[in-house]
Amino acid sequence: MQQPVRAQKPSAVYRNFAMDSARWNKLQPREGDIIICTPPKCGTTWMQMICALLIFQKPELDRPLSDYSPWLDMLIAPIEDVAGLLERQTHRRFIKTHTPFDGLPYYPGTAYFCVGRDPRDVFMSMDNQVGNASPEFMMRMAKNMKPGDAPPPPMIKDMRERFRAWIASPLTPESCLNPMMMPVQPYIQGFWEYRHLPNIHFVHYSDLQRDLDGEMRRIAKILGITVAEALWPQLVSAAQFDTMKDNAAALAPDAKTGIWRDPTRFFNKGETGQWLGTLGPDELAAYAAALAALPPELGKWIESGRGGR
């Protein structure tokens, strides 16, 4: 069976009140770039921190994490400023995005890391994040809307009803009006279809929880980064959830913009199985149906990663 070929230019544009994938056109790629590609609340910041630790090889950063690894698509800062920041960087660049794969440019010399998580836990974590977002910041973001842009749809008040709608939602430029409610399965599937490409890599939240040391070593090997054995314990410790939560002011994404009511709350629980006791039979049936619609290997990976069931 012939493998699909990925064109260099994106085939879709994702734009809403918070992000615009067309901003990627302003970035000049470099050999060795790293793009961290995730639906929100799947371990984006965790993967950014791991990359920072491997690249700089020290447990503490000199500046906020977002200064090293900006969310390029985010509309809060002019793209000229973000592209300029990245152009001035002399270290290996690692960039955050929530844009689906068909909205990104593709470069053979760039490493794409798609990070996944059990969608049920993503939903619970996202519920916390929505409540932690500053209303004043969201109003500032709304001013980025252009004439003709569709506003984000109103949030469904009932949590269980909201989950059933979210888990069954598609992922298209027309449906992606609120990046905070981006569905996990179609996002991951967009990368999964190109997993045969040598620069497309997958990291799962549960695998990081099970064996952080092993996963960090695997990521370092993929990136061709050598770390002295004596340094590994410090780097792994710095990437632990509790350590990152203690340093939330520097590590919570874009905290200096005022996006969060409480940066510490961004690192809420970091647990697997948060959905237990909250989602009912109807929600779990909707979840099972959503995974059953995927190739079996993909459904298994999305739920539990490489080391799961």
CA distance 192 to 43: 18
Query: What count of other Cβ atoms lies within 10 Å of the Cβ of residue 285?
Result: 11
Three-class SS string for the chain?
CCCCCCCCCCCCCCECCCEEHHHHHHCCCCCCCEEEECCCCCCHHHHHHHHHHHHHCCCCCCCCHHHHCCECCECCCCHHHHHHHHHHCCCCCEEEECCCHHHCCCCCCCEEEEEECCHHHHHHHHHHHHHHECHHHHHHHHCCCCCCCCCCCCCCCCHHHHHHHHHCCCCCCCCCCCHHHCCHHHHHHHHHCCCCCCCEEEEEHHHHHHCHHHHHHHHHHHHCCCCCHHHHHHHHHHCCHHHHHHCHHHHCCCHHHCCECCHHHHCCCCCCCCCCCCCCHHHHHHHHHHHHCCCHHHHHHHHHCCCCC
- Strands of the 111-116 sheet, one edge to the other: 94-97, 34-37, 111-116, 200-204
- Catalytically active residues are 98
